[in-house]
Structure 1
């Protein structure tokens, strides 16, 4: 579990972080990290290297903009359809707006309530998130964790990996999103036997291949996306399929 907090009040930010850390320690829950942000731009810059099932606690009013948190939630949902979004705010009048923005928030917590009630509400949210994860043991996740990037995504959503020309970055192209990160193609190739290195710059998920176009030397995957394939790799891929 990766937790991200967007709160422009340092006092409220540290209060929320403290309660979350206490709950995680008291219950021996696994949490990789808790990241705090005072500006929405900071959080949004980190989104490309985040992946599925991250947890976001968002204030709605940020730096005087009374609906900024809702716009951030939309950006998160576009990048990470599996994220858990929880609003922590004093603007209870905006509850109805969360439905209009279609961000599928888990909860709407009033930060003005007393400490005991506030912490108990946080606990209920975390318990729900963890129980949901436990109820999905069959979810086949691809997990990537390094010092520079960490994310996880359902394996069935992965179409292919592609190297970015002129950089050390790799782009994971999935059914509904793209994730850019620093890494080595050889490491990814060796992570699962369903990955096939079709070309120096491409690794394709065999489970999502629709056909091999020998004439144009490309592999066609779901969503009508294509990956290059070297002539010498065609026979090997045909045998796997």
Structure 2
């Protein structure tokens, strides 16, 4: 399902990991939410490995603060998740309540901080509530932000359907972007790095190109090019080709590969 909200758990205590898995899967099943438990692991690095090979994930993450003997702690993991998944919904489940303020200091913006010492029933209730809140926000975000594209020009804000956007490229002068739409081209002030963050449904295929994967009709793997229905094309960086092909396969997009 394309609108599936992916859920992740990192907990190095086997018993607590099993408990969280059961709470999450049961609550999803009972409520028939369009979401699933994608990965439950004791290793923090497993999440980063997944996100680096599966772009455009907007997930719900349940993390601890401390992972004994591992290179990453929960705060460091959350920071890296936020870099890879800008719309991540992060919940800390930990005994270290005194660390909660650090999540604000590091601008992680967690959805919740669940203290394990409150007891199993309270933890279960809070985790279930976090699932419901995250799912509600995700579905609303899908209706509002994913359907529209916004840009500012001459002090005026313009909104248009996302399916009109083919790609964005850097302009010939600094901080200028060229927006290629199905029926016209618009130039406006901006940075492609900012647009990458603002519109996670678009995919950065090259330092100069941000594309709408839904509008690609063909990818020429040998010549590193992506084509659109109107005949326009963009360069695809070698290091981005693998991720783009993975995205096309995962999203089941109708793109010719040659």
Q: TM-score normalized by structure 1?
A: 0.62
Deviation of 1:67 after TM superposition, in Å, equals 7.4
Q: Retained in 2: the 8 A contact 1:53–1:82?
A: yes
Instruction: Say whether 1:44 aligns with 2:48.
Output: yes
Which structure 2 residues correspond to residues 57-76 of structure 1 after superposition, within 5 A?
Answer: 57-64=62-69, 68-76=73-81
Which structure 2 residues correspond to residues 81-92 of structure 1 after superposition, within 5 A?
Answer: 81-92=86-97
User: Aligned equivalents of 1:17 and 1:85: distance in 2?
Assistant: 16
Q: Retained in 2: the 8 A contact 1:159–1:205?
A: no
In structure 2, the partner of 1:116 is: 121
Q: Retained in 1: the 8 A contact 2:65–2:92?
A: yes
Q: Retained in 1: the 8 A contact 2:226–2:234?
A: no
Give the RMSD, CA atoms, in angstroms. 3.7
1:180-234: CA deviation from partner (whole Å, max 9, x where unpaired): 9xxxxxxx99x73x3254864222679xxxxx8xxxxx859xxxxxxxxxxxxxx
User: Aligned equivalents of 2:65 and 2:228: distance in 1?
Assistant: 39
Instruction: Say whether 1:15 aligns with 2:36.
Output: no
1:92-149: CA deviation from partner (whole Å, max 9, x where unpaired): 00010001111111100012222221111011111111211232313337xxxxxxxx
Find 1:203's aligned residue among 226, 230, 237. 226
User: Aligned equivalents of 1:159 and 1:117: distance in 2?
Assistant: 47
Deviation of 1:159 after TM superposition, in Å, equals 5.3
Find 1:126's aligned residue among 99, 124, 131. 131
Instruction: Say whether 1:78 aligns with 2:83.
Output: yes
Q: TM-score normalized by structure 2?
A: 0.58
User: Aligned equivalents of 1:66 and 1:102: distance in 2?
Assistant: 21
In structure 2, the partner of 1:5 is: 9
Deviation of 1:71 after TM superposition, in Å, equals 0.2
In structure 1, the partner of 2:146 is: 140
User: Aligned equivalents of 2:72 and 2:103: distance in 1?
Assistant: 10
Question: Is the partner of 1:125 in helix, strand or coil?
Answer: helix
User: Aligned equivalents of 1:108 and 1:59: distance in 2?
Assistant: 10
Where do 4+ consecutive residues of structure 1 move more than 4 Å? 64-67, 154-160, 177-180, 196-200
